[in-house]
Amino acid sequence: MSEYFGNIKTGAVTIASGMGITLKHFFNAIHRKGDAGVDEAGYFSQVDGLCTLQYPREVIPTPKNGRYRLYNNIEDCIGCGQCDRACPIGCIAIETIKVAPDDLALCGKTSDGQQKKFWLPVFDIDVAKCMTCGICTTVCPTECLVHTPVSDFSEFDRSNFIYHFGNLSRLEAEAKRRKNTELQAKAQAEKEKKAAEALKESKA
Amino acid sequence: MEEGKVFSQSVQQSAAAYAIIHEKFGAAVSAFDANETMPFFEVLDARLWRDIALFMRDHAKLKFNYMACITGMDYQAEEKLGIVCNLESLSLFNHKLAVKVKCDRDGGFIPSVACVWHTANWHEREAYDMFGMLFTGHPDFRRILCPDDWEGFPLRKDYKVQESYHGIKVPY
Amino acid sequence: MTSTALSQFSIPFLMGSSLNVWSEALAGFNLFGLPLGLVILAAIPLVFIALYSLTYGVYGERKISAFMQDRLGPMEVGKWGILQTIADILKLLQKEDVVPTSADKFLFVVGPGILFVGSFLAYAVLPFSPAFIGASLNVGLFYAIGIVALEVVGILAAGWGSNNKWSLYGAVRSVAQIVSYEIPAAIALLCGAMMAGTLDMQKIIAIQSGSLGFAHFFLFQNPIAWLPFLIYFIASLAEVNRAPFDIPEAESELVAGYFTEYSGMKFAVIFLAEYGSMFMVSAIISIVFLGGWNSPLPNIGPIALNDLTNGPVWGAFWIIMKGFFFIFVQMWLRWTLPRLRVDQLMYLCWKVLTPFAFVSFVLTAIWEVYVP
Amino acid sequence: MQELDTAGLGSIRVTRKNDHTVVIEKDLATEQMVLAMGPQHPSTHGVLKLECLTDGEVITQAEPFLGYLHRCFEKCCENVDYPAIVPYTDRLDYLAGMNSEFAYALTVEKLLDIEIPRRVEFIRVIVAELNRIASHLVAIGTYGIDLGAFTPFLFCFRDREIILGLLEWASGARMLYNYIWIGGLAYDVPSDFLKRVGEFVTYFRPKAVELCNLLTKNEIFVKRTMGIGIMPAEVAINYGWSGPMLRGSGVKWDLRRNDPYSVYPELDFNVPVPDGKLSVVGDCLSRHLVRAFEMEESLKIIEQCISKMPATEGFNPRSAIPKRIRPKAGEVYGRAENPRGELGFYILSDGKSTKPLRCKARSSCFVNLSAMKDLSKGQLLPDLVAIIGSIDIVLGEVDR
């Protein structure tokens, strides 16, 4: 019999204490917790209250080193392809054209003075496949490929997820390729001429 | 234990456990490979694997009552499939040991130890699902992760992905 | 609303404060011989029912649950999300009304209808103010207890009709629950009726009126009255499938219980029937134990608070406020407690509530007979 | 005694007694309903399908079906080199990314046998324990929802949001970090990160007590979970259970204590095991209690790590990371104590390539779930939901 009444007593007591907690939260609902980020000093001194952030209007605090949208500062990119090899998913596509010796100056240098040896007509990152692991940003020698803390980059059309960072238009790229093929053809012709002369001398 | 190299305490415990097994099963059990990261021995005669398992679990000084996992393996060089079982004695002797059992590539049989450790039930189904070695005496033997009518065994080294599954293009 | 009802009860209460003067003038207002004032007076509670149960009950629940859980609740539609429920109803209106092919079409359609009607039929007998009562039956309380059972038919039709395993579970559970919780509920209300000596809702409330305000309420008249009050409150929770007893539509087990297959307006009908019956049950408990439209404020010497705050329109205010208080407690319980299992539910009903209901019934009888 | 024909619906026996009383015995064969608690169900914690044979509310057999979230983790590992597998291990148990990375990094470091700086070890323990608390908060919150209590879930996720913020501040991502690399860390923790973690510990303690009063002590919660899904200790070991499940059955086995790794031997924390006073040993409630008390232990560990943390001058988190990770030929089975149990990695390397020859993940939820078939025999449907909630499965780790 005592177990029967004990059951009812503990039931009533625990339900009452549970309801006390929810009522305390209900009456505390007049305060709203601030929207400070965890990286700000006063985060834990904010008042305890409703902690909803109304997303489109109030922005969700992300720290400066957040790893979200990829960005490639193409001027600094030397086209080495390290990031393409390191990416576990392989969502980076790079095409490079060797810079002809005479327009090295035209191609320019990276911000820290390194001479760039490749044109970059195509540097595509398929952000839909990217899992923001950040390995490409760590292997990049000139650190031009970085993650920006912009966490909301949703698109309506899937093809917009392929980010094009290449800095050559198709025509320029065509021109550069033709120039390279000519150079190669000339170099090839010289080599044959030299080989033919060497052959003649060896015979003579 | 040929060289005089001093081994860590856990490897010595495993060696002691191996000695008891070797003494009972003799030839059916290969030499003890005392490497630091995972000491193991191989069961040469696969048909005895279930008896060895029962012996390891119930022997007074062994008491391997906890099976951590069974890993399916594809030894392409030796044209064999195999499993690696990590066994451990929980809260009794605290020693660990790994056991390897091999069977030939096509239509190979390994006796199932699902009746010795319940963990083996699903692990063996997964090993079959991924590698295709058959486990005799398994209570409920079918694929676990892939769909039942999937062709081929995905984790084999010579596995070619099927072109389409129920009309859905498979290669990504 | 019949004019006799008005004359029979409102005259003694029309005297006194300004609110009464205003409502009396409105009552007397005639347009081309048509008693327009009476129609307006009658419309107020009906508008309230439609406004409350269709919109602000749902909005209130979402806001109260949000505040209890450190959330904001709906804020997008309207100033503080006020128009949220209207937006919901419009959304549900334009949703396709899917009737599953293998469903039993007639039962599937009729189920929500019976459910909605069952929960709103009891409003006919609720006295919203001394001047207004839908139908002043002299067996009002008996009718209210009886009509609640109609919901069971609606739930069973909906559950069985949608030919879905989960709904079948939900429906069968709810039949067991509502039918078995009728007994402690009825006995607890019987204690109230015993104290009043009549089943007529108006008379029950009239007996509880007096200059001392809340002292006249049955809850304080009888030392044991808190027990039937508590029993009826718990049993009423179970009857409207609320809080710890929402087993028929247990979201986490039965997906959505008996209304899994419903979408569009049928879902809205079931959803609002629940809120309708929530208010109905709170109104009954406040009528029987807390003196429906009587104001709880006592007359303290010269300041005649009680007389100031009584009268036809004040009456409607008081009963609605008491109803809202009990609805708040129901919501408060829902967002605190986990759900009972079916067999624990039956244990609570037959092993705890019913015996205590009989005990309180006997004690009230002793109190009524021996103590003048 | 006369047998009536019921066209195969069971037997009806009518016996006439001498005083004209008639006794009718009926045992009609009621058909068992197959109920697919399918991959899309509110309380299966992910895409798990349970095919239940139900006789009324009682379940005679519940057969789990897996594979809906199988992403061929082991096949991917064979085509990607060692450091690039780390982001894949986050996606195994996506509620405890740090712990999974920790287990993988430990295993490969055993193969490489390189020496890890002490500060790296302490940072790893702090972020792993923070992730354990976050994972337990999800487990307790969703367990409350399974039984109908919505409010504790919201309190749990409000506090978990702070932990995710802290981990995002340290590693850059909220849930899938790629932070613990093989041999070190991706970045050092920001300057006043440790102070903020200390503030979090003092902030969270009263909140945990409030959560305990609201849910764990609630009589209805206790009635719904006590004495349900009882698993005795030996059978739990035989099923290969680990983590809170094994400790819930009364076996005092915690890898941080029994097979110590990293700096855990230097830290003192006790391993909570139910003693039968608050709950029946081995039932759903004791598994829940183990998780609740473990959060308190994790807070203690974090506090000790903050006090013992070496200074940061001249510390480079990537100092011990070899240029090309090409481990020697051999195989290793390394493991760590994940919030859901023992996550083990078996790695076979042939010494020549930078890609593992075979990398198997021994997932704790996969093994804990295998006992579901026997655990759910003869239970009621609502109890089946309570049992699944207490096993606390994450389908990412079950299906790999």
CA D362 to chain centre: 13
User: Which CATH number fits the domain that encloses residue D334?
Assistant: 1.10.645.10
What's residue D193's pLDDT? 93
Contact of C326 with C57, CB cutoff 8 Å: no
Residue B17 has pLDDT above 50, yes or no: yes
Residue C251 has pLDDT above 80, yes or no: no
DSSP letter for each residue of A123-169: EEEETTT-----HHHHH-TT--EEEES------SSGGGGEEE---S-
Residue among D251, D335, D348 minimizing CB distance to B91: D251
pLDDT digits (tens, 9 = 90+) for B21-47: 999 888 888 888 888 888 999 999 888
Q: Which CATH superfamily is domain B9-159 in?
A: NADH:ubiquinone oxidoreductase Nqo5 subunit (3.30.460.80)
The residue of chain A nearest to residue C351, with distances taken between CA atoms, is: A4
Domain ranges (residues) in chain B: 9-159
CB burial readout B76-115, b (16+ within 10 A) else e: eeeeebbbbbbbbbbeebebbbbbbbbbebeebebbbbbe
Contact of C217 with C289, CB cutoff 8 Å: yes
Query: Apex CA D305: angle with CA A33 and CA D311, to 5°?
Result: 100
The alpha helices in chain D, defined as continuous H runs, are 73-79, 82-90, 97-112, 118-146, 151-171, 193-211, 219-225, 233-238, 244-248, 255-258, 284-308, 364-369, 372-375, 381-391, 395-399
Q: Give the β-pairing of A145-148 and A69-72.
A: antiparallel
DSSP letter for each residue of D32-45: PEEEEE-SS-TTSS
pLDDT bracket for residue B5 (50, 70, 90) = low
Q: How near does any CA of chain A get to the CA of C18, in Å?
A: 34
What's residue B53's pLDDT? 93
The residue of chain A nearest to residue C329, with distances taken between CA atoms, is: A19
Q: Among residues D334, D341, D343, which one has the least CA distance to residue D371?
A: D341
- Whether residue B67 and residue D240 make contact (CB cut-off 8 A), yes or no, is yes
Check residues C247 and C311 and name the one with the higher pLDDT. C247
**DSSP H or E stretch at residue C284:** helix C264-290
Helix (H, G, I), strand (E, B) or coil at D384: helix
Residue C190 has pLDDT above 50, yes or no: yes
pLDDT bracket for residue D342 (50, 70, 90) = very high
d(CA C151, CA D101): 55
Q: Find the mean pLDDT for residues C247-252.
A: 77
Number of H helices, E strands in chain B: 3, 8
- What is the CATH number that goes with domain A69-168? 3.30.70.3270
C132 contacts: CB under 8 Å, gap ≥ 6:
C1, C5, C41, C42, C44, C45, C312, C316
What's residue D138's pLDDT? 95
The residue of chain A nearest to residue D209, with distances taken between CA atoms, is: A21
Q: In this structure, is residue D399 part of a structural domain?
A: no
Q: Find the mean pLDDT for residues B117-136.
A: 93
Q: For residue A29, which residues of chain C lie inside 8 Å, CB to CB? A: 66-68, 70
Average pLDDT, chain B: 88
Q: In this structure, is residue D242 part of a structural domain?
A: yes
What's residue D84's pLDDT? 93
Look at phi and psi of residue D251 and say left if phi exceeds 0, alpha if psi is from -120 to 50, else beta. Answer: beta
The residue of chain A nearest to residue C68, with distances taken between CA atoms, is: A26
pLDDT digits (tens, 9 = 90+) for D49-90: 999 998 888 888 899 999 999 999 999 999 999 999 999 999
What is the domain extent for residue D23? 1-30
Helix (H, G, I), strand (E, B) or coil at B135: strand
Residue D24 has pLDDT above 90, yes or no: no
Instruction: State both tokens at B90.
Output: 């929980």
- Taking the Cβ of residue D67 and every Cβ of chain B, the question of whether any pair is shorter than 8 Å is answered with yes
pLDDT bracket for residue C6 (50, 70, 90) = very low
pLDDT digits (tens, 9 = 90+) for D297-332: 999 999 999 999 988 787 888 888 888 889 989 999
Highest mean pLDDT among B3-12, B89-98, D330-339: D330-339
What's residue D211's pLDDT? 93
Q: How near does any CA of chain B get to the CA of D78, in Å?
A: 9
- Taking the Cβ of residue C64 and every Cβ of chain A, the question of whether any pair is shorter than 8 Å is answered with yes
* D9 and D127 housed in the same domain: no
- Whether residue D331 and residue B84 make contact (CB cut-off 8 A), yes or no, is yes
Q: Taking the alpha carbons of C322, C325, C331, C337 in that order, is the dihedral positive or negative?
A: negative
- Whether residue B90 and residue D370 make contact (CB cut-off 8 A), yes or no, is no
pLDDT bracket for residue A114 (50, 70, 90) = confident
Residue among D111, D251, D348 minimizing CB distance to B90: D251
Q: What is the ipTM of this complex?
A: 0.89
d(CA D161, CA C227): 44
Residue A43 has pLDDT above 70, yes or no: yes
Percentage above 70 pLDDT, chain C = 94
Q: In this structure, is residue D251 part of a structural domain?
A: yes
- Whether residue D169 and residue A18 make contact (CB cut-off 8 A), yes or no, is no
- Overall number of domains in chain D: 2
Residue B157 has pLDDT above 80, yes or no: yes
What's residue C17's pLDDT? 54
Q: For residue D218, which residues of chain A lie inside 8 Å, CB to CB? A: 14-15, 18
The residue of chain A nearest to residue C64, with distances taken between CA atoms, is: A26
What's residue C360's pLDDT? 95
Look at phi and psi of residue B26 and say left if phi exceeds 0, alpha if psi is from -120 to 50, else beta. Answer: left
d(CA C316, CA C127): 9
Q: Find the mean pLDDT for residues C349-357.
A: 94
What's residue D160's pLDDT? 95
Task: Kindly tell me the burial class for residue D283, based on how many C-beta atoms sit within 10 Å of its own C-beta (0-12, 13-18, 19 or more).
Answer: buried
Check residues D154 and B9 and name the one with the higher pLDDT. D154
- Whether residue B35 and residue D330 make contact (CB cut-off 8 A), yes or no, is yes
What's residue C11's pLDDT? 44
DSSP letter for each residue of D312-362: -TT--TTTT--SS--PPSEEEEEEEEETTEEEEEEEEE-SSSSS-SEEEEE
Q: Give the β-pairing of B168-169 and A145-148.
A: unpaired
**DSSP H or E stretch at residue C266:** helix C264-290
d(CA D221, CA D207): 19
What's residue C57's pLDDT? 87
Q: Find the mean pLDDT for residues A139-168.
A: 90
Instruction: State both tokens at D371.
Output: 């006992």
Instruction: State both tokens at C45.
Output: 């509670």
Q: How near does any CA of chain D get to the CA of A65, in Å?
A: 5
Contact of B10 with B2, CB cutoff 8 Å: no
The residue of chain D nearest to residue B147, with distances taken between CA atoms, is: D67
List the single best residue of B69, B80, B92 to mutate versus D (max D Cβ within 10 A): B69
d(CA A111, CA A109): 7
What's residue D65's pLDDT? 92
Name the strands in the sheet holding D379-380, side by side, starting at the edge strand that comes first in the sequence.
Answer: D33-37, D49-55, D58-65, D379-380
What's residue A56's pLDDT? 82
Backbone angles phi, psi at D278, to 5 degrees: -80, -30
Q: Give the β-pairing of C132-133 and D2-4.
A: unpaired
CB burial readout B41-53, b (16+ within 10 A) else e: bbbeebebbbbbb
- Whether residue A26 and residue C67 make contact (CB cut-off 8 A), yes or no, is yes
User: C-alpha dihedral over C62, C65, C71, C75, to 10 degrees?
Assistant: 20
d(CA D391, CA D290): 12
Residue A84 has pLDDT above 50, yes or no: yes
Angle, helices C312-334 vs C18-28, to 10°: value is 110
CB-based touch D/B (3+ pairs, under 8 A): yes
Residue C13 has pLDDT above 50, yes or no: no
Q: For residue D35, which residues of chain C lie inside 8 Å, CB to CB? A: 165
Contact of D89 with D180, CB cutoff 8 Å: no
pLDDT bracket for residue D255 (50, 70, 90) = very high
Q: Give the β-pairing of B40-43 and B80-88.
A: unpaired
pLDDT bracket for residue C3 (50, 70, 90) = very low
Q: Find the mean pLDDT for residues C77-90.
A: 88
Domain ranges (residues) in chain A: 69-168
Half-sphere exposure of D94 (CA within 13 A, CB side): 13
Instruction: State both tokens at B122.
Output: 């699903």
Q: Find the mean pLDDT for residues D219-235.
A: 92
pLDDT digits (tens, 9 = 90+) for C199-232: 999 899 989 888 888 888 999 988 999 999 999 9
Residue C4 has pLDDT above 60, yes or no: no
Percentage above 90 pLDDT, chain C = 33
Count of C-beta atoms within a 10 Å radius of residue D160:
18
pLDDT digits (tens, 9 = 90+) for C263-306: 888 888 888 888 888 999 999 999 999 988 888 888 887 877 78
Q: Taking the alpha carbons of D231, D235, D238, D242 in that order, is the dihedral positive or negative?
A: positive
Cα diameter, chain B = 62
**DSSP H or E stretch at residue C14:** helix C3-14
Residue D272 has pLDDT above 90, yes or no: yes
pLDDT bracket for residue A166 (50, 70, 90) = confident
Its pTM stands at: 0.91
d(CA D66, CA A61): 38
Contact of C346 with C176, CB cutoff 8 Å: yes
Positions of E strands within C237-337: none
- Range 319-358 of C in CB contact (< 8 A) with A: 332-333, 335-337, 351-352
